[in-house]
Amino acid sequence: MDASDKKLTEQIIAQNQRLLQNLDTQRHCSCEVRQLISEITGRSVPSSTEIRVPFYSDYGRNIKLGERVFINANVMMVDLGGITIEDDALIGPGAYLISVNHQLKPEHRKELQLKPVVIKKNAWIGAKATILPGVTVGENAVVAAGAVVSKNVPANTVVAGVPAKVIKKIED
């Protein structure tokens, strides 16, 4: 990342923090919440999408939200590496979606590893679940409350635990 990219990123983060402070500390109707989230993400949030506050992100510009998405209160999105939430997904209260990690080697510890998080159509992320960098949660999958997901979740399955493991297949 060159100096001009770093400066622009810092400016976006500063703007994001101002918008989030306004979002999370003032009273807003649902259309105002969507408008502020649209400013944070740099793209329009569908009117069918509902976001409960407080809502947190570190960067904001790399969040993509589909139609009829529901995001409950106290969700944190660390989105520098990209977070996509497809149509009809549900994100439980206090969930963490993290697309950024650090290097293991001490001399490179402050260097970032960016890996996108993707939540596919109709997936459900339970309360206080953590989705780690590079994970895709498959269509119709369920992540149990409190799970820590470090590997992709197959479609139509339920995962639970730390680390999360498939505990059930969802039958039609």
- Look at residue 4 and tell me whether its pLDDT is greater than 80: no
Reported as a single tens digit per residue, the pLDDT across 108-159 is: 999 999 999 999 999 999 999 999 999 999 999 999 999 999 999 999 999 9
108 included as an active-site residue: no
| Catalytic residue, candidates 102, 108, 168, 169 | 102
Contact by Cβ (8 Å): 63, 49? no
| Contact predicate 138/120, CB 8 Å | yes
Looking at the predicted structure, is the pLDDT value of residue 3 above 90? no
Provide the pairing of β-strand 148-149 with 130-131. Answer: parallel
Query: Average pLDDT, whole number, for the chain?
Result: 95
In tens, the pLDDT along 77-107 reads 999 999 999 999 999 999 999 999 999 999 9
What pTM did the predictor assign?
0.93
The pLDDT value given to residue 32 = 94
Model confidence at 1: pLDDT above 70: no
Ordered structural domains, the chain, with CATH:
3-169 (2.160.10.10)
